[in-house]
Every structure is written in C-alpha cells, then in structure tokens.
Amino acid sequence: MIKYFLFRGVLRCVVFLFTFLFFFNAKGQPKLTDDLDVSATYHYGYMLPEYSSILYLVDDPVRSFSLNFSKKTRGSSDWEQLYNYPEYGLSLFYSTLGNNRIHGREISVFPYFRLDILTGRRFDFYNETGMGLSYVTRKFDFRDNYLNVAVGSHLNIHFNLKLGVQYKMRQKVKLNTGVSFDHFSNSNSTEPNLGLNYVTAYAGVKYRVGNETEKQVRVLKDHERNHNFEFIYSGGMKHPRAIGSELYFTSSATFEYKWEFLRMFHLGIGADLFYDASTEAEMLTLELNNHKKLYDFRSGIHFSQEVVYNKFSIIIQEGFYLVLKDQVEQHVMYNRGIIRYRITDRFLVQLAMKSHVHILDYPEIGVGIRW
C-alpha cells in the first residue's frame, strides 16, 4: 500500500513537470493546443529470448496499449531546426507481460522524444526514444511468486525505442505503424533484477487537436570545433546479486577531454576511478575469500560519444579496466549510458547507468564542472 501511494505521488510529479514544460514550450504561441497531437496505439508481440528461465514461463503474447500526448516543435530555437523540428511527448502505457499469474501487468508513464529521419509530403520515417517510471502488479515473493525471477520490485524504470512510419491521411489525422522495443528493470536496486524485454509491432492513429503553426527557418551560425575538459563526481547505491542482501554505496570520479566535433555530436576520451563497497560481499557469494580493501577500487579509461540537444545530451561510453581491475567477475570492459544537463556553461548534472555489456551494475547521480 505504501508503494502504491509512493508511485501515485511520483506519477503526479511527472505529470506536473511535463505540463509545466508544455506551458514553457508554448510561450509565444497563440494557443496551448496549437501543434498538439493526441494518439492511441495498439501493440502485439513477444518476449525476447534473453533468458531461457523466463521464456519457459511465457504462455501468452504481449499486448499493449498506449495513449500519447505530443507537441511538434516549429523552430523557436536553432536546435529545433537542426534536428528537423522534433516532437516531444508523454506516453501513458499499459501492457501484459506474457504470464499474468507470474509477471502480472505493467502500467508506465514516460516522456519521449521523436525525430523524423526522413520526411515527405505524405510519409515520414521516424525514431522515438522514451524513458520513465513503471509499476508492475506482480513481483518476486519467496512464498507466493518464487517463479518470478525477472522482477524484484513493483517500481521499475521503463525504456522504449521505436522505429516507425507515419502516413498523413487527412489534414488533422495521421496513421502510424512500426516496431517497438521495451525494457524495464529496477536498476539493480532490488533483487532479482533480470528485467523483461519484449518487441512488438504496433499501429495507431494520431489526431491534431489545435492548429498547425508555420515552421520558422533561420540562417545558422557556423559551428566552432571547440575543445574542453570535464571533471564529474558521481555517487550511487548497489544491490549485489543475492536475494535479500543490503544496499551498498558506490561512487566514481571521471576526468575527460571532449572534442566538439559537430554541433550535435561530440567525441571524448577519459579516465575513471570507481569505488564499490559491495565487493567483499560479492566475493564471498562467489566463495572468493581473498578480498583486500584495494579490490573495492577499479580504474580504467573510456571513449565516449555524445549526442547534444541544446543543454541536454545523451552519452554512451565504452571503457577498459586498467591497473585496478575487476576482481569479482573479472570483467575486462565496462559501459555507461548517461543523460546529462548543463546548468550553465561550466556546471552540469547527470544520471548514469554503469553496466557490463547488457548486465546492469548500478545507477549514479553526478555533478561536474567543465572548462
């Protein structure tokens, strides 16, 4: 019951934030409903065969339904024109999960960002990416649901990726179809945390509520290929892969050189120092009794690719452990997916997920400085 009220409170915060962003984005426009679309979409598909233990429990296709509210940008900033007038939206999502008795149902809400890759008079080919909160009705329980090795908590993070085609049927009516990939897990905050992945084909209809305003076109300044440096300190919590174990503190310090190769795309190389307080507990779980305090630390170098949109950016990093290596699982590589926001030209905040290929390790919240 407490988790239900917590989820409802978080949901209200997300809806309030998104509503505020809509009002902020609509300043200078005659009406809030201008360029506002409402769409309904139906999905049908199957769980992905990542873990055989999960597939044995799947006895039904995945069926999903989403109600979406979105706004098409019209070029009020240089970035909107650079990205071919992207679309912001909020999706209310409901889905079955292949086995209602074990996995239950999923209810999620997530903001998304849509880019038109190819545009025509009637057809558009697009990509949508979204991430938000998810509530799953059934989770692991020692007595009542011990077969659910995928979901250890009711609250989870939901990630969505779509590729689709849009057909303009009438002036205010559009049809959409495509392929969608969905993943949700609790970011290793509670075990088990295998999460669930499913792919679906979808089709839907979109309706323009208000008027479509005219696109703004401006002459953009030439991009300067600047060079800068960044230092970021991050902290997080980790749940070792043992059911019932406690949370442990994690942190990292990163120094990076960044080359602003293109206005929308930056390249970087950097060094990392990680601290993981769960190392001893994880080694004991694997019957490794040679723990040393130095093993709590790991170091490495990484390469990064950063896609920039105004003050926001999405970063992918590929790293290699050097000197202080992983003594638990003996991983050679590590990865990080990062969502970053630049508060000013010098200060930034970010949310990152450290992983080893597809195995999530722990989330981090970081603050940094650039010069």
pLDDT in tens, 150-206: 777 888 989 999 999 999 998 899 999 999 999 988 877 777 777 788 999 999 999
In the predicted structure, residue 346 carries a pLDDT above the cut 90:
yes
Residue 167, classed as helix, strand or coil, is strand
Q: What is the pLDDT of residue 244?
A: 54
In the predicted structure, residue 13 carries a pLDDT above the cut 60:
no
Instruction: Identify the residue whose tokens are 């970021």.
Output: 232
**24-28, 204-208, 325-329: least confidently modelled range:** 24-28
Average pLDDT estimate for 327-345 = 95
Q: Specify whether the CB–CB gap between 239 and 188 falls below 8 A.
A: yes
Model confidence band, residue 361 (pLDDT cutoffs 50, 70, 90):
confident
In the predicted structure, residue 294 carries a pLDDT above the cut 80:
yes
In the predicted structure, residue 32 carries a pLDDT above the cut 70:
yes
Model confidence band, residue 90 (pLDDT cutoffs 50, 70, 90):
very high
Token pair for 183: 């993943």
Q: Please tell me the pTM assigned to this model.
A: 0.80
pLDDT in tens, 231-246: 999 999 887 765 556 7
Q: Which domains does the chain have, with CATH numbers?
A: 2-208 (2.40.160.20), 227-370 (2.40.160)
Nearest to 90, CA basis, from 112, 107, 72, 65: 112
In the predicted structure, residue 223 carries a pLDDT above the cut 70:
yes
Secondary structure (DSSP) of 241-262: SSTTPPPEEEEEEEEEEEE--S
Q: What sign results for the dihedral spanned by CA atoms 53, 54, 57, 61?
A: negative
CA distance 61 to 58: 8
CA distance 281 to 283: 5
pLDDT in tens, 96-128: 988 888 888 999 999 999 999 998 889 999 999
CA distance 349 to 195: 27
Name the E strands within the chain.
Answer: 36-47, 62-72, 87-96, 105-119, 123-136, 155-168, 173-185, 196-208, 227-238, 248-259, 265-276, 297-309, 312-321, 333-342, 347-356, 359-370
